[in-house]
Structure 1
Amino acid sequence: MEQCESGLLRYPLLENYNDELEVIKDYGTPTQGKTSFTKTVFNGLNALSGVGILSVPYALASGGWLSLILIFIVAIAAFYTGLLIKRCMEDDPRIKSYPDIGERAFGKIGRTIISTFMCTELYLVVTGFLIMEGDNLHNLFPELSLEASGIKIGGRESFVLIVALIMLPTVYLDDLRSLSYISATGVIASFIIIASVVRVATFDGIGFHYKGELVVWSGIPTAVSLYGFCYCAHPVFPTLYHSMEKKHHFSKVLLLCFLYSTIGYAFMAIIGYLMFGPNINPQITLNLPAGKLWSKIAIYTTLVNPLSKYALMLQPVVNATESWFPKFRKNIYFKIIIRTLLVISQVLIALIVPFFGYLMTLIGAFLSLSASITIPCLCYLKISGFSFKGEKLLVIGTILLSIIIAIFGTYTSLVQIINETLVITK
């Protein structure tokens, strides 16, 4: 442990995480402050665009039409906490990263908690990539299966193993900067997926025939948790802020990013629910007719992004795990063993818990809502004062609401995962 010029304590494990997070999002060096307003908006949209676009129709189907209001509530809350992060950084110019905010507010414990949440979220999101790849590839090639030593492996499980083997060599790389350029395609990919789904509905005979339910109370926790998963980009906001040439425009950047992404999510949720109604899968691509050209475009677009981002997003977890064994960190064989075991652990989770929607619900409820709404509010309460008394009540109310949602969403997702796992094992 050492102290830097800014006065903030630095821990090697967590400092590596911050460095790699910048590589993951490809936002450049945050201290340079040379990024234009337009590029920052694009980078912000890229951060907010992800696999959540596949699950929002399922979220809407889970909660009914009235649950669509919740995506706007979550978006507004997440936008507001983004502004709180900006205020924290303005209050103390030494803050350069999200863990720095936790350290500024609550010391070493705050930094450790925030970094733990971020690494856990990344680990589970990357595990979700394996599940998603297995599901979609099995949808394209349903007849494929593997057999080894007399043991037959099912199609979906076979694809999870194949994808893991393909991506494993990239995990051995230490310099991932070249891959980060490939991964910065979230905005374009989301647009292609939405356009492809609309094209399939309009011209391939599916149409928009389902009226749907007004509200499904039992599905509200699932819906709001999945909506929360869509807005989990807060850990990169400090990087975006410091990369800007004109930092006083950051509030406008946040407004545009949340506005455009929310419109995209809401539009995708509506058209998906109208197309498939209560029969929608946790990934809308699994509902698309696999033989149609535009369905294949949507599915292949869905498959490309995780393949390019897997190693990049797993790297902070790799750094954190290797830091537990400082004496062996430079040993190449040790690195190979640790990284292989990490991938194996994710494969096992993907095989044991093959429920993409439920896993995303768990991540959204327990991790995304905490990291994007609860933690920024708590840190802001500790770091800064308030411009008016009513704001303190607003922040406290936001904290309480996010905690309630997290509790019910986490409970619901765990129950669903356990029940489905028991059904499969029987």
Structure 2
Amino acid sequence: MEPTSDEIPSESTPLVNSTALEVGESNVDDSTEHTSSPDLEAGNAFNQFEESELEKPWPATFERSISLLAGPISDTDFIEQITKSPKITPNIGARRKQNEFNTPDMGPGMLRPQSTFKQGIVKVQSLDFGAGMKKESDAHAYRMKLLEAQKKKKQDQPTSKVGEDLRKKKEQQDSGGHGHGLPDSGEKASFGQCIFNMANILMGVGMLGLPYIFKSAGWFGGAFVTIFFSSVAYRTSILLGRELNGDARPIALFFDTKNAPSRMRKPINSFPAIAREAFGKCGTILLSSVLYFELFSCLAIFFVTLGDHLYSLFPQISVTQHMIHVSFALAVPTALLRTPTLLSYLSAVGTVATAGVVSAVAGSAIYFGDISESVAERKHIDMSNTPTHEYWEPSGLAIAFGLIAYTFSGHAIIPSIYSSMKKPQEYESMIGFTFTVVSFCCLIVAVSGYWMFGSLVDDQITLSLEKNSGDGNILMKVLTWLMILTAFSKFTLTAFPLALGFEEIIAPCLPSDRWMDFLSSIIKLLLIAAALAVAVFVPSFSVLCSLVGLICTMIVSVIFPAAAHLKLFGPQLSLWDKFLDWTFVLLGTFMAVIGTISST
């Protein structure tokens, strides 16, 4: 008896037997009916975004669109693909309703019913953690036998010209390099490239408010908040990687070709898919709604940043008027046009701005030192009875936690980084190195800014630098313009994933792609108007960032990863892991509720 080649797609996936094995039939000879051909796989991969995207549960567009924020992208073809509106197909609404949210698609790798007596039900052997460890040698031998049968089957199976052409076309498409913001799936991303992209995600506009954390909580409070939350974010990033891998054990164990253990669950490939696997349809809708609300809140924050920095350069015009003028400028590249070349350039701006902010703040602190007293004199503020630097300020811990949480938000893009890695076994090492570097840079910016300006620091450090640099300091003017361009670029890039989420909802009701293109522009214009209204109503960078950090980031980056870890792997976890997960869930909930009340 020979097992079918499609039952175990890789050496590290769970052991699966079909009922056909139990009835004693040979599956090697007739497995062509169950096994997907290379031609079909190539065709499915080539048309994955165009043909069946709307048949998948909402939000099917999230993973491919959020990769636009994962790092600099030079391939305009890839940008064209990931920003494309959902393709309208006939009867899509009925098919989506028929599939429901939890009904799995009958993919090419699944067994189909053969007859009344030959059911296509798959029997999964016990994956109990303790029992599995005792039978590793038997499991390894069984997997190797299946892999040999699969290899032999593929060698004997002829390949049609159509499938060969499709694969060549897919390879040519991949050769341009996408890979979720880095190299494409053919080249994949190296260890250093993944560190660069992950750091680029974490060190965004939120870095501007780091000195304000120390102003709110003092020297000790600011240092505690920064180090504590970076440790929490590091831990939850590790948990997300293991959830994507389908096992609670370290990821590196599953890439040992000789002693790779069986996974507890099937691997997962996106952030909403983790929620669907752990909490079902309702959990997916809830988490996805929080993700999209976070993206929308970021649009309002970018408006505030643009208005504040433009006002520092042109004070004769009010901040509100600056934001209104910018909204019209943003409407052109965001809503009315979709130019991949422009988006490609904009995706690289944030990297330059991040390096510029860290260098400017650290260099200014070394050159100027503590200038808080001179700033107070210039502003005619009496600081004789009030210290410019506090050691501990417990009343400001709530807003400090919100600001640092917003700075370390970015867990939703982790699946894109993970799937782009050339060596996924290095994921946990990459996360550890990245968080060490990012935490160090955050402390440099926070300490340097607070040391220079003390309690007089603005909620965006670049504003304080520009105000106190003098009219003749060209470098600070350049830095200010760089931050304006950064906020402009991030607004444009962030609007696309958010708009696609809404487009996916209304797409089943539309008759043609022409209507989809028209309503896509309308949706983006409405998002710009709504974000502008929020920014005008709450024109405070620190308040908006803190609220987004406490409400959204606590859920996405702290509560959800720990809760999903418990739900997916609870029986196999150690007491210490369960304790940490429950601590993160309860502490994150407490900080989200109490922090939001305190900061408002």
TM over 0.5, yes or no? yes
State whether structure 2 residue 269 is matched by structure 1 residue 96: yes
- C-alpha distance in 2, partners of 1:175/1:379? 38
State the Cα distance separating 1:295 from its structure 2 match: 2.1
Q: Provide the residue aligned with 2:590 in structure 1.
A: 404
Residue of structure 1 aligned with 2:426, choices 243, 249, 253: 249
Greater CA deviation, 61-70 or 374-383? 61-70
Listed as ranges, the gaps of 5+ residues in structure 1 are 145-154, 416-426
Q: Among all aligned residue pairs of Structure 1 and Structure 2, give the percentage whose two residues are the same amino acid.
A: 27
- C-alpha distance in 2, partners of 1:208/1:355? 22
Q: Provide the residue aligned with 2:495 in structure 1.
A: 314
Residue of structure 1 aligned with 2:325, choices 152, 162, 165: 162
CA distance 1:177–1:115, shift in 2 (3 Å): farther
Q: Provide the residue aligned with 2:88 in structure 1.
A: none
Greater CA deviation, 336-345 or 391-400? 336-345
State the Cα distance separating 1:186 from its structure 2 match: 3.4
Deviating above 6 A after TM superposition, structure 1's stretches of 4 or more consecutive aligned residues are none
Note if contact 1:180-1:309 (Cα within 8 Å) is conserved in structure 2.
no
Note if contact 1:17-1:316 (Cα within 8 Å) is conserved in structure 2.
yes
State the Cα distance separating 1:206 from its structure 2 match: 6.1
State the Cα distance separating 1:138 from its structure 2 match: 0.2
State the Cα distance separating 1:232 from its structure 2 match: 0.8
In the TM superposition, 1:99-110 aligns within 5 A as: 99-110=272-283
- C-alpha distance in 2, partners of 1:161/1:94? 46
Secondary structure of residue in 2 paired with 1:64: helix
Q: Provide the residue aligned with 1:148 in structure 2.
A: none
Residue of structure 2 aligned with 1:214, choices 391, 394, 402: 391
What is the one-letter code of the residue matched to 1:45?
A: A
Q: TM-score, normalised by structure 1?
A: 0.87
- C-alpha distance in 1, partners of 2:455/2:55? 50
State the Cα distance separating 1:175 from its structure 2 match: 5.9
State the number of aligned residues. Answer: 400
State the Cα distance separating 1:333 from its structure 2 match: 3.5
- C-alpha distance in 2, partners of 1:330/1:114? 31
Note if contact 2:179-2:185 (Cα within 8 Å) is conserved in structure 1.
yes
Secondary structure of residue in 1 paired with 2:61: helix
CA distance 1:330–1:323, shift in 2 (3 Å): farther
In the TM superposition, 1:327-338 aligns within 5 A as: 327-328=509-510, 330-331=514-515, 332-338=517-523
Note if contact 2:449-2:457 (Cα within 8 Å) is conserved in structure 1.
yes
CA distance 1:177–1:399, shift in 2 (3 Å): farther
- C-alpha distance in 2, partners of 1:391/1:362? 29
Q: Provide the residue aligned with 1:260 in structure 2.
A: 437
Output one character per residue of 1:215-264: Cα deviation in whole Å (capped at 9) or x when no partner: 11110111111111111111111111111111000001101111111111
State the Cα distance separating 1:395 from its structure 2 match: 1.0
CA distance 1:103–1:330, shift in 2 (3 Å): farther
Note if contact 2:368-2:452 (Cα within 8 Å) is conserved in structure 1.
no
- C-alpha distance in 2, partners of 1:102/1:175? 33
State the Cα distance separating 1:198 from its structure 2 match: 3.3
Secondary structure of residue in 2 paired with 1:73: helix
State the Cα distance separating 1:110 from its structure 2 match: 2.1
Greater CA deviation, 33-42 or 358-367? 33-42
- C-alpha distance in 2, partners of 1:338/1:389? 48
State the Cα distance separating 1:205 from its structure 2 match: 7.8
Q: Provide the residue aligned with 2:577 in structure 1.
A: 391
- C-alpha distance in 2, partners of 1:246/1:181? 28
User: Higher Cα Rg: structure 1 or 2?
Assistant: 2
Output one character per residue of 1:313-353: Cα deviation in whole Å (capped at 9) or x when no partner: 11122122233433347424433332212111111111111
What is the one-letter code of the residue matched to 1:106?
A: F
Q: Provide the residue aligned with 2:228 in structure 1.
A: 73
CA distance 1:99–1:177, shift in 2 (3 Å): farther
Residue of structure 2 aligned with 1:143, choices 308, 316, 328: 316
State the Cα distance separating 1:71 from its structure 2 match: 1.0
Note if contact 2:239-2:562 (Cα within 8 Å) is conserved in structure 1.
yes
Note if contact 2:372-2:454 (Cα within 8 Å) is conserved in structure 1.
no
Q: Provide the residue aligned with 2:179 in structure 1.
A: 29
Q: Provide the residue aligned with 2:198 in structure 1.
A: 44
Q: Provide the residue aligned with 1:19 in structure 2.
A: 64
- C-alpha distance in 2, partners of 1:395/1:181? 40
State the Cα distance separating 1:162 from its structure 2 match: 1.4
State the Cα distance separating 1:203 from its structure 2 match: 4.1
Q: TM-score, normalised by structure 2?
A: 0.63
Output one character per residue of 1:160-197: Cα deviation in whole Å (capped at 9) or x when no partner: 01111111111224564751453234343222112222
Query: Once superposed, what is the RMSD of the aligned Cα atoms?
Result: 2.5
- C-alpha distance in 1, partners of 2:576/2:588? 18
Q: Provide the residue aligned with 1:424 in structure 2.
A: none
Q: Provide the residue aligned with 2:112 in structure 1.
A: none
CA distance 1:185–1:256, shift in 2 (3 Å): farther
Note if contact 1:41-1:256 (Cα within 8 Å) is conserved in structure 2.
yes
More helix by share: 1
Q: Provide the residue aligned with 2:528 in structure 1.
A: 343
Q: Provide the residue aligned with 1:273 in structure 2.
A: 450
CA distance 1:296–1:240, shift in 2 (3 Å): same
What is the one-letter code of the residue matched to 2:486?
A: N
